[in-house]
Amino acid sequence: MKSLHKYGWIAWTSARSNMAYLGEVVARTLFLVLILYIFLQLWRVTYSETQAQQLGGFTLPQMLWYLCVTESLAISAPRIAQDVDQDVRTGALTVQLVRPISYPMYRLWSSMGERGVRFGFNFAVSAVLALFFVGTIPMSIGGCLLFLLVLPIAFILDFLVMFLIGLGAFWLEDTSGLVLIYSRLLWLLGGLMIPLELFPESWQGILHNLPFALVIYAPARLFVHPSISDTLALLMRQGVALLMLTLCVQWVYGLAIQRIHSNGG
């Protein structure tokens, strides 16, 4: 009894010291509850007013599950650009250069870890909500595996763009504007609130090939409509984007390093 009390106290103390983190978790959960409920209502009304079974190939439950994935993805984004920006301005990046570790790789892996945990949590919360709101949709283990295959690449693509923006700190006075522009474009053109199928026809060809869709829309759609052929096509597109963005990052990072070497950081 006494030891129970003791361990209870330890747990309580550690919980309290993590309160800041806990607060953030509660805030994210609450936000997911609100936003998914609102979107559920929006689409419920839309489906009933159009008297359609499917819109853009999505049934109402599929639409909500699609939004679960996109919202979980969007609010799991770590502050990569801001952190890189800080490292550049404080000179922490210069210090990193003398370590036997590649700075971009260090940033990549730490952001992957953070994002993995956050996405997992958000998605778990969203899934519970979706089950409660609309029930299940047809899913298979194979489909989930395909989703898990493209998801990390989506994370990496997002990372590469954010990393590039962060490196902008070498040349720009303030990068927060770019971060905001990117994130809003990602949300709007990446299909955060509405799948690309429901965009005007003429936009769709371009949007499907932009990196925005590869980060949010495509993985979410694959989760709802698993298909091997779609996966292969997506992997192709993601591969091309990955290659191009990697080259971009290498080039810009090279310029930045040169700048450090010639200016002394």
Partner 1 sequence: MKALLNYLNLAIAYVRLNWNAHMEYRGAFVSQLLAMLLNNLMWVAFWGLFFTRFPVLRGWTVQDVVTLWAIAAAGFGLAHAIYGNALQLAKLIAQGQLDVWMLYPRVLLPHLLLGQMNATSWGDLLFGYGVYLGFVHPDMVHFVWFIGLTISVAALFVGFSVLTGSLSFYIGNASALSDQWRMAMLTFSTYPGTLFDGAIKLLLYSFIPAGFVTYLPVEALRSLSWVHAIGSVIGSVTILGIGIGVFYHGLRRYESGNLINMRG
Rounded-to-integer distance, Cα 237 and Cα 243, Å: 10
Could you tell me the smallest distance in angstroms from the CB atom of residue 244 to partner 1? 25
Q: Which is nearer to partner 1, 76 or 175 (CB)?
A: 175
| DSSP element (H, E) containing 69 | helix 60-74
CA distance 197 to 186: 16
Q: CA-to-CA distance for 60 and 63, rounded, in angstroms? A: 5
Which one, 100 or 200, has the nearer CB to partner 1?
200
Rule CB under 8 A: which residues touch partner 1?
Answer: 23, 26-27, 30-31, 34-35, 37-38, 41-42, 45-46, 49-50, 173-174, 176-177, 180-181, 184, 187-188, 193-194, 198-200
Q: Residue 45 or 228: which CB sits closer to partner 1?
A: 45
Q: How far is the CB of 179 from partner 1 (least distance, A)?
A: 9
Query: Other C-beta atoms within 10 Å of 239: how many?
Result: 11
CB atoms within 10 A of CB 85: 24
| Residue number, 89 or 184, with CB nearest to partner 1 | 184
Q: Which is nearer to partner 1, 37 or 253 (CB)?
A: 37
Contacts of 205 (CB under 8 A, 6+ apart): none
Min dist CB 38 to partner 1, Å, is 5
Least separation, in Å, of the C-beta of 34 and partner 1? Answer: 5
DSSP letters spanning 215-246: HTHHHHHHHHS--HHHHHHHHHHHHHHHHHHH
Judge residue 219's burial from the number of C-beta atoms within 10 Å of its C-beta, 0-12 exposed, 13-18 middle, 19 or more buried.
buried
> Minimum Å distance from CB 23 to partner 1?
5
- Alpha-carbon distance of 74 to 249, in angstroms, equals 22
The smaller minimum CB distance to partner 1, of residues 22 and 228, is found at 22
Closest to 76 in 3D by CA, of 119, 16, 133: 119
In the complex, minimum distance from the CB of residue 56 to partner 1, in angstroms, rounded to a whole number: 9
- Our CB check for partner 1 shows the closer of 172 and 228 to be 172
Whole-angstrom CA distances from 70 to 11, 168, 170, 216 are 34, 27, 32, 6
How far is the C-alpha of 184 from the C-alpha of 172, rounded, in Å? 20
Minimum distance, C-beta of residue 196 to partner 1, in the bound complex (Å): 10
